[in-house]
Amino acid sequence: MRGPDRESLKQRLQRRRRLILEASRRTTADIDDLREAERDPEVEEGSQSEQEQRKLVEVGEVELREIAHIDAALARIDAGTYGVCRECGEVIEARRLEALPFAATCADCADHEERLAVATRLTRS
Ligand SMILES: [Zn+2]
């Protein structure tokens, strides 16, 4: 495999995974704090904190998705398929992997998927 060696790549991904988990634990603690504050009768009607909670939950979902991507990338490293596009089987550009270490598709296929997603959203609305 070209580019950074397996071990340093795995360490990089695992480090990123830990950072996300730490951040999401803080997010969960923030949500608990907000819920706690809502039970406090001293606090005004909680529409602002409700918005805040929703925002925090959304952040949590993004984090979970990224962790799933990282886990999949770690599995691909072990399977020896890391860096190969899931869609077309071509080698993923080194520059792309540098920017997005858990990319599962090459830039072309990612563009294609993105266009499909946009088209699907347009058809639905
Ligand atoms: Zn591809």
How far does residue 3's CA lie from ligand 1's centre (Å)?
A: 18
Q: What tens-digit pLDDT sequence spans the chain (125 residues)? A: 455 588 899 999 999 999 988 888 887 788 888 888 877 766 555 567 777 777 777 767 888 888 999 999 999 999 999 999 999 999 999 999 989 999 999 999 999 988 988 888 888 76
How far does residue 93's CA lie from ligand 1's centre (Å)?
A: 10
pLDDT given for residue 6 in this prediction: 84
| Contact present, 46 and 39 (Cβ < 8 Å) | no
How far does residue 7's CA lie from ligand 1's centre (Å)?
A: 24
How far does residue 34's CA lie from ligand 1's centre (Å)?
A: 44
pLDDT given for residue 1 in this prediction: 47
Residues in Cβ contact with 88 at an 8 Å cutoff, skipping those fewer than 6 apart: 105, 106, 108, 109
What is d(CA 75, CA 20) in angstroms, rounded to the nearest whole number? 18
The residue type found at 59 is: V
How far does residue 104's CA lie from ligand 1's centre (Å)?
A: 9
pLDDT given for residue 71 in this prediction: 95
DSSP of 47-108: HHHHHHHHHHHHHHHHHHHHHHHHHHHHHHHHHT-TTB-TTT-PBPPHHHHHH-TT--S-HH
How far does residue 13's CA lie from ligand 1's centre (Å)?
A: 22
pTM over cut 0.85: no
Of the candidates 92, 73, 74, 75, the one whose C-alpha atom is nearest the C-alpha of residue 83 is: 92
What is d(CA 101, CA 83) in angstroms, rounded to the nearest whole number? 9
Strand partners, 84: 91
